[in-house]
Structure 1
């Protein structure tokens, strides 16, 4: 039989438990209440680097008329893919060390449907091929000759992607054939674009010609769902730019979205993902990575390993470039 002292102890512990549960319930209810009271900024589109400004213009034409985020992200990055003056995406992209321009891209909508192509040659707009993979097949990723064959069957035209400017740069590079990544070269790289439409739906797109003078056959993070791009309509979306191998090693954009799910802001989530990259790599020389994120409320943020990463923003009231904060100069 329990004595009076034991009874008092149990009563006290029970009281603490009730109080703790009450406090936790109250805290959770406050969080839910605060979240439900947030004003949602929509539509909104954000994209990586200076070339994101032009991409945003095309995306905004769709979003401002009540169009879908999926149509917007595809239209936006197609602008960059078709710009012969951009040497890191699509037409005009710098080739691999063997002189071939190979393209990677992926797209993802609010229903977690996604499509991607990698090591695709002679097709100007890989993002549109990626969308066809998503919508017309049961697959997510097609690569190489198979991706090109699929594109041709879907009506895409073959295009010589190696411009004269890119060819001259490649021939000059061959004089030394030294591979050395350059941080923020000409302030452009992969373009990642994220959008939230009037219906509250998120989509994202990511496309690149990859590292200049890479090994023939190399594929980076851009066509990989959860690395170069990830979208979860309950939470938010994220994209990545920079050294793809580093992004793949931490499943970068999936991590960013999960961090947002657990309560971090887009900025905080991007910062934490960069911190993980810094921690996981002993040598950070020329290892630039930037993350960009957008949540369900239209809140956005970016962060990079080194100084120099920026992103373009377009809303009903703002059109501007934003310099992302960074881990080191």
Structure 2
């Protein structure tokens, strides 16, 4: 009997111990900050490269506010730059290649990781809209050259002469020396990349450009390449690039920025680390003389950031709190 009493006593103590631990656990749960008090992400939010991003942001914001999808808002927003003859590095009015032809690259990506792109496209003013059609109406990610043009025409786009008188004059002046040397921070604008965090907290992005002036006919940069000029993961964040495309392609730049955000870095920290990685890999490279690369990024919490190799890179941000404004990126040099 004494053994039985000892057994029952131990069992009772054990039961009390278990109950105590359980109750402590329940107590700790009730003391946690209620979910409702956690700071909500800033949304919607738009971030885009360079000063012409202000006008693009305005249009994209207007579209979002009237209920347009983020993808359509991006197409409308960056379409402002594509149609502006005073923007010398995007769409209509873009500086041509060394043969005097304006060739265009663009890509777009939604929160499901569906994407579409066109490269080496000629005679179509809005390559970003064609990229969207590639996403929506084909089983492919990228169409290029004559195939991209054929597809655009089949979708109802019209051919136009994209070489403006101003751009042609600059090209003919360049022909006098015919020296290829990319210009850093060309006229304070370059590729326009746009990232959107919509009201549902989903990410989308787009990128469009006429590429480097005086490039070889057929050259394609980073802008239409998913993972280089643009990348997003809707669970993590989005990033986009501007500047010397070859350097971004060599390092899968935008994808690497997103991966660093996945590891817990802020958008600004991620942009900085990848920019410095590009700088270190190009310190003794032939491209170093005119190396300029900049990144923008936004995460699911609505935090944003930007960073570049050289000074001069800025980007436009639009949110409900502060409206549409320019922010200056820090730089390595």
- TM-score interval, normalised by the smaller of the two chains: 0.7 to 0.9
Shift of 1:186: 0.5
In the TM superposition, what is the alpha-carbon distance from 1:279 to its structure 2 partner?
Answer: 1.4
Q: How many residues align?
A: 296
Task: Give the SS at the match of 2:76.
Answer: helix
Q: Deviations over 1:240-282 (max 9, x none)?
A: 0000000001100000001000000000000011011011112
After superposition, where does 1:264-279 map in structure 2 within 5 Å? Answer: 264-279=265-280
Equivalent residues in 2 for 1:240-279, closer than 5 Å: 240-279=241-280
Pairwise CA distance, 1:68: 2.3
For residue 310 of structure 2, the aligned residue among 306, 311, 315 is: 306
Largest Rg, 1 or 2:
2
Local SS of the residue matching 2:290 = coil
What's the offset of the Cα at 1:181? 1.2
Aligned 1:22-171 pairs, distance under 5 A: 37-171=38-172
* 1:323 lines up with 2:328 in the alignment: yes
Match of 1:180 in 2: 181
- Structure 1: unaligned runs, 5 residues or longer: 1-31
Distance 1:87 1:37 in 2: 44
Q: TM-score, normalised by structure 1?
A: 0.88
Q: TM-score, normalised by structure 2?
A: 0.87
Contact 1:66-1:198 within 8 A present in 2 as well: no
Between the aligned partners of 1:71 and 1:201, the Cα distance in structure 2 is 14
Deviation at 1:38, TM superposition (A): 3.8
SS for the counterpart of 1:212 is coil
Q: Following the alignment from structure 1 to structure 2, what is the Cα–Cα distance between the partners of residues 33 and 228? A: 39
The unaligned stretches of length 5 or more in structure 2 are 1-32
- Cα distance change of structure 1 residues 33 and 300 upon mapping to structure 2, 3 Å threshold: farther
Q: Residues 287-302 of structure 1 correspond to what in structure 2 (within 5 A)?
A: 287-302=291-306
Q: Tell me which residue corresponds to 1:21.
A: none
* CA distance in 2 between partners of 1:55 and 1:87 (Å): 15
Q: RMSD of the TM alignment (CA)?
A: 1.4
Partner of 1:196: 197
How many angstroms apart in 2 are the aligned matches of 1:278 and 1:222?
A: 19
Cα deviations by residue, 1:213-266 (Å, 9 ceiling, x for unpaired): 000100000000000000111011000000000000110000000100000000
Deviations 1:142-175 (A, max 9, x none): 0000000000000000010000000000000000
Answer yes or no: is the 8 Å Cα contact 1:66–1:197 preserved in 2: no
- Report SS of the residue matched to 1:303: strand
Q: Is the 8 A contact 1:78 1:125 kept in 2?
A: yes
**How many Å apart are 1:193 and its aligned residue?**
0.3
Structure 1: how far apart are the matches of 2:66 and 2:162?
A: 33
1:14 corresponds in structure 2 to none
SS at match of 1:181: coil
